[in-house]
Structure 1
Amino acid sequence: MSETSGRPFRLPAPGRPDASAGAAAETAGRPFRLPAPRRTGAPGEHASETTARLRPVPADPVPDEPAAPFGRSSVQGTTTTRPAPPPRPAHRPSAPAAPVTPDPALSWSATRPLVSFGEPEGYDGDARPRPLGRRGASQAAAAAVCLVLGLGLISGAVTGSWLVGGSGDEGAPSTFAAAGSLWHSVPVDQLFPPTVQGRGAGPGGADRTWTRIAVAPDSDCKDAFDPLLRKALAPVGCERLLRATYTDATESYVTTVGLLFTTADAPGMTALANRFRKERLDRRSDLMPLPYAAKGTPAAGFGAPQRASWTVSVLTEAPVVVYAVSGWADGRTVDDPQPAGDAVEADATTAVAQAGLGNEAQGLADRVERDFRRNVRSASEQPS
């Protein structure tokens, strides 16, 4: 025992009790190979051994296995053990292990559960799973109800718009009739306010303020229009004509605005509006309205030769034609009048356009028409 205390203890290889330590070192550089199948017994102790060796338990031979993927194995007796593999770097992938022929009785593939992928499921209102993409009978019924309700709301909105005189091509019968009677049921200050604010109505978006200087007595249409314009308006008839003349804040311009109440029905007004639009009758200088010149006012000299710009609008939801005509307040004549639709263009360079007379006619007519529509809505909403 004293002879071996200074060096590490090594077990001799089986069957070679007298092998030296150099024999084990000699095999360190060679690749590891598995030993032959285990023997059924171990040799007895040799007389030269000073210590008792461990005796392996005999076992049945096992199939050959491939070499371990890491390092080499150490042999102790007839039992083979493999050292644990060294730690791998986290960023380097590990080399795949050599294929191993598994025991069919212990194979994982023979014992793993069978997994199948079916149609994905959702959940209904009662938290019960149902396949996605299918609708239950209750959902289909709810969708049908929503569709019916939506169509009902839309049709109701359209009907309500028709009853209160919306922006359709033809007004409702009640609204149309109410509009035709406003000439004798609405005060003149509501049809032609004493002061009209034209915010952004001037050239370049400038504000305008118009002051009423004269109101003509209500009358028929005799001598109220030039013969050609009277002929164009004849299909809708003439129930009553209302007119008023305004001037701007500087009293440089005068503008007459008129409301012609016709005897036509809604289809007749629609036909006239279509003709004016298709034939561009509102752009013809021989179809300009006549102004109303009141004595003792800045519009005293405002006659036919002083007409500079004009606009004509045929309404379809009311039996009314709205028009306006403008000119200079100093009585100067105009040889080349221009329709307001052309004079308000940004690139218009005529004297009428540069002076803003197109904005005077168009801006005042728009606001009088807006007030008239408001009066029509108020009249149609009142109980009869």
Structure 2
Amino acid sequence: MAPGGVPGSSRPVVSFGEPEGYDEHARPRPLGRRGRSQAVAAGVCLVLGMGLITGAVTGSWLVGDSGAAESRSTFSAAGSLWHSIPVDQLFPPTVEGQGAGPGGADRTWTRIAVAPDTGCEGAFDPLLRKALAPVGCRRLLRATYTDATQSHVTTVGLLFTKADAPAMASLAGRFQRERLDRRSDLMPLPYAERDTPAARFGARQRASWTISVLTDAPVVVYAVSGWADGRTVDDPQPAEDAMASGATTAPAQAGLGHEAKGLADRIERALRKNVRSATEQPS
């Protein structure tokens, strides 16, 4: 307050300067200023942070590469199973089909014949051979089964191709787009062996079938079913159609669609199990 002034007649003037702190010698210094050591520390933190980010990104790339390599390894391992796995693992002597029959009934299939592993010469009708030609034929394995009553017979096949993953995906896409797996002129042929319930299982006895082109393995899985008594079939039906609710054709009524599809699915599962076993790394 100025001399002679009235208390409260004026307000004190306050100025705000930089806040002060104290250095290591207890000397005042503005808090807003950073020492050289702090700037260096900040720079180090920035470098470390960038390193961690770069490491994380690189790690994600490495994981991606590892996954792709594992996929290629699995695909390659599947392609060699035809000569490295015992036949009883690819085509078990007995196959249980829990819930595989019409209405969810259980099925049991018994192997009655195993074809020698061969090439594909004469193993397919001409049109199916042409459809499968883009993936080539490395080896063909086949086995024929009968049901518990020995009234039905089913041949299941594993065609090991020469194709890589893109070629298999391309063929699978074509089969799906053009519905090639439903064309009766592309049915697989059965394998019959004398002195077995399948002795009379020929081309004219084919009643229902299924074909599956795998994309994670160079393999085509198929199955074709018919009656064991040698009766001919004038209206064969794809398994998916024969299994449909309300289907009234002879193959559907006899459950032959379920025979083909159920057995093919279980042989495919066995194949995948063998692939996993072949690619497992010791712990």
Q: In which range does the TM-score fall when normalised by the shorter chain?
A: 0.7 to 0.9
State the partner residue of 1:184. 83
**Mapped pair 1:290 → 2:189:** yes
State the partner residue of 2:37. none
What code does the residue aligned with 1:335 have? D
**Mapped pair 1:262 → 2:161:** yes
What per-residue deviation string (whole Å, max 9, x for no partner) do you get for residues 5-30 of structure 1?
Answer: xxxxxxxxxxxxxxxxxxxxxxxxxx
Question: 2: distance between equivalents of 1:231 and 1:348?
Answer: 31
Per the TM alignment, residue 345 of structure 1 is displaced from its structure 2 partner at its CA by: 0.8
Question: 2: distance between equivalents of 1:343 and 1:259?
Answer: 22
Per the TM alignment, residue 155 of structure 1 is displaced from its structure 2 partner at its CA by: 8.3
1:225 to 95, 115, 124: 124
RMSD, aligned CA: 2.3
**Mapped pair 1:248 → 2:157:** no
1:342 to 211, 223, 241: 241
Question: 1: distance between equivalents of 2:152 and 2:59?
Answer: 50
Question: 1: distance between equivalents of 2:134 and 2:274?
Answer: 26
What code does the residue aligned with 2:160 have? F
Assess, with a 3 A threshold, how the Cα gap between structure 1 residues 175 and 205 changes in structure 2: closer, same or farther: same
2:213 to 289, 314, 320: 314
State the partner residue of 2:266. 367
TM-score, normalization by structure 1: 0.57
What secondary structure does 1:321 align onto?
Answer: strand
**Mapped pair 1:377 → 2:269:** no
Per the TM alignment, residue 337 of structure 1 is displaced from its structure 2 partner at its CA by: 0.1
Question: 2: distance between equivalents of 1:161 and 1:310?
Answer: 35
TM-score, normalization by structure 2: 0.77
What secondary structure does 2:115 align onto?
Answer: strand
- How does 1:262-281 map onto structure 2 within 5 Å? 262-281=161-180
Give identity over the alignment, percent: 75
The structure with the largest helix share of the pair is 2
Per the TM alignment, residue 355 of structure 1 is displaced from its structure 2 partner at its CA by: 0.6
What per-residue deviation string (whole Å, max 9, x for no partner) do you get for residues 71-112 of structure 1?
Answer: xxxxxxxxxxxxxxxxxxxxxxxxxxxxxxxxxxxxxxxxxx
**Mapped pair 1:325 → 2:216:** no
What secondary structure does 1:219 align onto?
Answer: coil
Question: 1: distance between equivalents of 2:185 and 2:270?
Answer: 29
What code does the residue aligned with 2:135 have? V
Question: 1: distance between equivalents of 2:74 and 2:95?
Answer: 25
Per the TM alignment, residue 160 of structure 1 is displaced from its structure 2 partner at its CA by: 6.7
Question: 1: distance between equivalents of 2:99 and 2:60?
Answer: 35
Per the TM alignment, residue 162 of structure 1 is displaced from its structure 2 partner at its CA by: 4.9
Per the TM alignment, residue 156 of structure 1 is displaced from its structure 2 partner at its CA by: 8.6
What per-residue deviation string (whole Å, max 9, x for no partner) do you get for residues 166-218 of structure 1?
Answer: xxxxxx21111111100000000000000000000000000000000000000
Per the TM alignment, residue 348 of structure 1 is displaced from its structure 2 partner at its CA by: 1.1
What secondary structure does 1:217 align onto?
Answer: coil
Question: 1: distance between equivalents of 2:104 and 2:263?
Answer: 14
Per the TM alignment, residue 329 of structure 1 is displaced from its structure 2 partner at its CA by: 0.6
Per the TM alignment, residue 380 of structure 1 is displaced from its structure 2 partner at its CA by: 1.4
What code does the residue aligned with 1:209 have? T
Assess, with a 3 A threshold, how the Cα gap between structure 1 residues 202 and 161 changes in structure 2: closer, same or farther: farther
Question: 2: distance between equivalents of 1:208 and 1:158?
Answer: 42
Q: Name structure 1 gaps, 5 residues minimum.
A: 1-147, 165-171
Per the TM alignment, residue 350 of structure 1 is displaced from its structure 2 partner at its CA by: 1.1
- How does 1:60-139 map onto structure 2 within 5 Å? none
What code does the residue aligned with 2:252 have? A
Question: 2: distance between equivalents of 1:254 and 1:153?
Answer: 53
Q: Name structure 2 gaps, 5 residues minimum.
A: 1-53
What secondary structure does 2:123 align onto?
Answer: coil
What code does the residue aligned with 2:139 have? R
> After TM superposition, which residue ranges in structure 1, 4 or more long, deviate above 2 angstroms?
150-164
The structure having more radius of gyration, on CA atoms, is 1
What code does the residue aligned with 2:147 have? D
What code does the residue aligned with 1:373 have? R
What secondary structure does 1:370 align onto?
Answer: helix
Assess, with a 3 A threshold, how the Cα gap between structure 1 residues 154 and 368 changes in structure 2: closer, same or farther: farther
Assess, with a 3 A threshold, how the Cα gap between structure 1 residues 206 and 173 changes in structure 2: closer, same or farther: same
Per the TM alignment, residue 364 of structure 1 is displaced from its structure 2 partner at its CA by: 0.1
Assess, with a 3 A threshold, how the Cα gap between structure 1 residues 295 and 154 changes in structure 2: closer, same or farther: farther
Question: 1: distance between equivalents of 2:132 and 2:269?
Answer: 22
Question: 2: distance between equivalents of 1:155 and 1:200?
Answer: 44
Question: 2: distance between equivalents of 1:161 and 1:328?
Answer: 46
State the partner residue of 2:103. 204
Per the TM alignment, residue 349 of structure 1 is displaced from its structure 2 partner at its CA by: 1.4
Per the TM alignment, residue 332 of structure 1 is displaced from its structure 2 partner at its CA by: 0.3
